[in-house]
Amino acid sequence: MARYEYNAVDDYGRKARGTLSSGDMNGLRDTLAATGLHLVSARQVAESGGSTLLRKKIRRADLIEFTYHMKTLIGAGVPLVSALSDVAEQATNAGFQEVLRDVRRNVQSGATLSGAFALHGDIFPEVFVAIVRSGEATGNMDMVLEDLNRFLTWQEEIGKTIRQATYYPATVVCMVGGLIVLLFAFVFPRFLSIFRGAAVDLPLPTRVVIAISEFFRGYGAYAALALAVAFAALKLYRRTEAGRLRVDGWKLRIPLVGEVIRSIEMSRFAHFTASLFRAGVEMTQTLVVVEKVIGNRVIANVVRQAREELIAGGGLSVALRKSGEFPPMVIRMVSAGESSGNLDATLENVSAFYDREVPAAVKKAFAILEPAMTVLLAFVVLGTALSFFLALYKMVGSMGAVR
């Protein structure tokens, strides 16, 4: 993609200028048009060699720091351009600092903050832009930035919890896999000639181990290739709409893991629906944005169907109940919010519940998984050792009987 410096105007004739990456001039024009700007002129500029690398290193932590400082400054009455200048100069990530300076230039030239964010869709997701746009429309910018900061912080904490919880199981899985390969591909083949030459019937566990070892030696490379092909085929299948829908459905039905995934999606649904609705975004439009936030395609389809139900004159809670994918507690809270007119408040309660529930579900899942992995490791080690010693014991016994 090329980098362009552009000059543009909005519907009111206000000028905007900045830099933006796009495939070609038509793509640049379409991108600007999507943010309410009309391209006047543009020229391609050289992109610094380190720019792309720096962009890739922009993390969620940078967005958390940005939203925190912006909501503090705007809440204190600091003008938007001055707030952007302060935050940009204090940014520790050079790539993010470059992005924020471009955002500031565009705002200074007359673009809205949400429009300036939308020009950097690789950094600011669509939902981020939509929530900021709702803050601009209602004048509650500090509130929506605080909501964004809280949710981004929660996502970061959940990510850390999951990473920490997976260290031990991942280590055990690697150990089990490495041990199996070591035993069956290198250790047991050295004893096959001894076992084959023995004039005794080998125990069943030993025969099973010998068969597995011979399979590893004869077909191990083909098996590894077949697994790699199957994995690649699954990834390609998941890129299709039908494939992603089916795979995401399987994920929700995996014991323990499905519970964690569903809890995370319920928190996303509740948090963003409450934030957008409280900021004054109409519910059907809110659900358009929320559908894109949901990571699981099955749950996202339910949100889309709920939107269609609302357009047809139905209720949100009725649509969610029909799907069978939303927990009864969420449906009851949504129904209560619709009846009382405090849907944003009841959804905030749902969000607060899952903010506590998700870390607990993650810890519960891995608390069960860790001993299971330990038992699996013990089973592999003891099973292979037992098959080896049973064969030796029988061979020694037969030698004693011959004497």
Neighbours of 349 (CB within 10 A): 16
Backbone φ and ψ for 365, nearest 5 degrees, come out as -60, -45
The CA radius of gyration of the chain, in Å to the nearest whole number, is 29
**Whether the Cβ atoms of residue 294 and residue 268 lie closer than 8 Å to each other:** yes
Alpha carbon 383 to its chain centroid, in Å, reads 38
Q: Residue 196's pLDDT is what?
A: 65
Backbone φ and ψ for 100, nearest 5 degrees, come out as -65, -35
- Residue 205 burial class via C-beta count within 10 angstroms: exposed 0-12, middle 13-18, buried 19 and up: middle
Q: What distances in angstroms separate CA 148 from CA 145, 162, 266, 343, one per listed residue?
A: 5, 21, 17, 19
Query: What is the rounded distance in angstroms from the CA atom of residue 14 to the CA atom of residue 200?
Result: 93
Tell me which residue of 67, 65, 16, 71 sits closest to 39, measured CA to CA.
16
- Residue 126 burial class via C-beta count within 10 angstroms: exposed 0-12, middle 13-18, buried 19 and up: middle
Architecture in CATH of 258-359: Up-down Bundle (1.20)
Whether this prediction's pTM lies above 0.85 is answered by no
DSSP-derived secondary structure letter, 4: E
DSSP-derived secondary structure letter, 296: S
- Amino acid letter at 57? K
- DSSP characters over 190-234: HHHHHHHH-SSPPPHHHHHHHHHHHHHHHHHHHHHHHHHHHHHHH
Query: What is the rounded distance in angstroms from the CA atom of residue 77 to the CA atom of residue 70?
Result: 11
Tokens read off for 356: 């506590």
DSSP run (H or E) holding 3: strand 2-10
**Whether the Cβ atoms of residue 299 and residue 265 lie closer than 8 Å to each other:** yes
Neighbours of 51 (CB within 10 A): 15
Q: Residue 399's pLDDT is what?
A: 61
Query: What is the rounded distance in angstroms from the CA atom of residue 153 to the CA atom of residue 141?
Result: 18
DSSP run (H or E) holding 377: helix 343-402
Cβ burial 239-257 (10 Å sphere, 16+ → b, else e): eeeebbeebbeebbeeeee
Residues of the chain with pLDDT under 50: 48-56
End-to-end alpha-carbon separation of the chain, Å? Answer: 83
Where helices occur in 279-342 by DSSP H, the ranges are 283-293, 297-311, 316-323, 328-340
Where helices occur in 57-203 by DSSP H, the ranges are 60-75, 80-90, 94-108, 113-118, 126-138, 141-182, 189-197
Q: How many residues does the chain have?
A: 403
CATH 1.20.81.30 positions along the chain are: 258-359
The DSSP bridge partners found for residue 6 are 18, 42
Q: Residue 229's pLDDT is what?
A: 94
Query: What is the rounded distance in angstroms from the CA atom of residue 53 to the CA atom of residue 41?
Result: 28
